[in-house]
Amino acid sequence: MAEFKESGAYYVSKSGDNANAGTSKALPKLTINNYGGSGDVTVVGTGVYSIGGLTYGTGSQKLKADGHVIFDGVTGAATGFVGVRGDIDGCTWVNFGSNIGSSTNNSVDGDVTNSMFIGGTTYLYWRIDQKHKFNRFINSTLTLGMNSASAPGGCSYESAVHINSQFNLSKSTYAGSLASGLSIKSCYFDENSLVILPDADAAALTFNCCIRGQVRVDGVTYASLELARAAVGGFPGCISDDPLFIGDPSKGEFTVKLNSPLIGNGVLGVNIGNVKSGNLQNSDSLEWGLSPSSNLNTNFSATKTLKITDGGTFGTRISKEIDLGQVVRSPIIIANGLIDMINNVPDSNNTLVNPNHLCADVSYAGIDKVYSAFKSFRLGEKMQLDTGGKSTGQTGFDWNNLVDIEMRYLKISVTVRNNYSVS
């Protein structure tokens, strides 16, 4: 469905036009650039965007995704953003040699949050009050540097997930001790990830993380968290337990079981890695994948990809009844496996404008099993109505007046399209 949720000073959409002023939701621009001045937020709508070589936030602007926003480097050799001097929130980076920055460029003064990096190398920095949090790295390398002679202060790296990735905290040109005002906290590093810390000071500032792979401190590599802790101390509150994922995190599936040790064991009781517990439905699920009576023109291929089977332009598949196990309030439906969706999010060919978000139709019921009519809800957002009765996926939804929905059971209807001009 159309329309922006987020508000800002400027708007970008795959159905926009750079001839537009970009200052209204109805008339967005087409490409990402440094619009406006200090503190101005540019809201970017769902779609795949090709970027390269831009230093974003030269005037301390901020960039915020509204929906599924993917930056695609295409060749795998390009650099996405040379530097970031404003804030970046909610974007996915793929096919870049360097996602953000370089080892010789330390112009990352803003906060990078809620973003996913698939492959490539990312350079972020700590100076004063940078807080990089809720980011996810898959098959990727992150260097968190301190390219300044002055001590960084008030900085944190929080609630990140690293899958088959390398995390390197580098003091770079800073030669002093790391202060207590810095922290690495509530992060998850899988068994195929490497955590590199410059010294024992950094280990003492690493709080309530789950570290299942190797740890390198001051050039010495230890096979486990326990061996590193025995040798250098530090790592307060850190664990190495099985996270109990119920999906495949290498495909962007970060759902865990209710009894996962990641739930509630981060600093101040947050979930380590910002993971969520929930119900995972895939091609092997009785409610979803193995329900031929609900198969309407779609089926799962040999690679478990949902595809259209009748040669047409679209088809719909409806799940059987999904039991959430208890009454919950406004759950979130997430389309996992974003790696497989890169070429399938609404893009420049869609005619549902400004922007065309990913949605699913859902019918829900309480413990009485009296189901509602199917309503359209945006993926990745809480299932809510507005005070006028519209759902989040409907045009004209009022994001300022929200009503939660309680439910125990639901049925999900997903329409797959080969042609985004089909409405």
**What is the pTM (predicted TM-score) of this model?**
0.90
H or E element, residue 325: strand 322-329
Residue 83 in this model has a pLDDT that exceeds 60: yes
CA distance 63 to 44: 7
Phi-psi domain of 236 (left: phi exceeds 0; alpha: psi -120 through 50; beta: other) = beta
CA-wise closest residue to 36 among 17, 49, 23, 50: 23
CA-wise closest residue to 237 among 315, 185, 275: 185
398 is written with which tokens? Answer: 């009022």
Strands (E), 119-191: 121-125, 131-133, 136-138, 141-145, 156-158, 161-163, 166-170, 183-185, 188-189
CA distance 269 to 251: 27
CA distances from 365 to 73, 75, 229, 335, 362 (A): 43, 47, 49, 21, 10
Domain ranges of the chain: 36-276, 281-417
Residue 127 in this model has a pLDDT that exceeds 70: yes
Question: Chain-wide mean pLDDT for the chain?
Answer: 87
pLDDT at 2: 57
Q: pLDDT tens digits for 206-244?
A: 999 999 999 999 999 999 999 999 999 999 999 999 999
% of the chain exceeding 90 in pLDDT: 52
CB burial of 234-268 (b: ≥16 within 10 Å; e: otherwise) equals bbeebbbeebbbbbebbebbbbbbeebbbbebbbe
Q: pLDDT tens digits for 284-303?
A: 788 887 665 455 567 777 77
CA distance 22 to 40: 12
For 66-70, 116-120, 149-153, which range has the lowest pLDDT when averaged over its residues?
A: 149-153
CA distance 345 to 34: 24
pLDDT at 351: 53
CA distance 131 to 126: 8
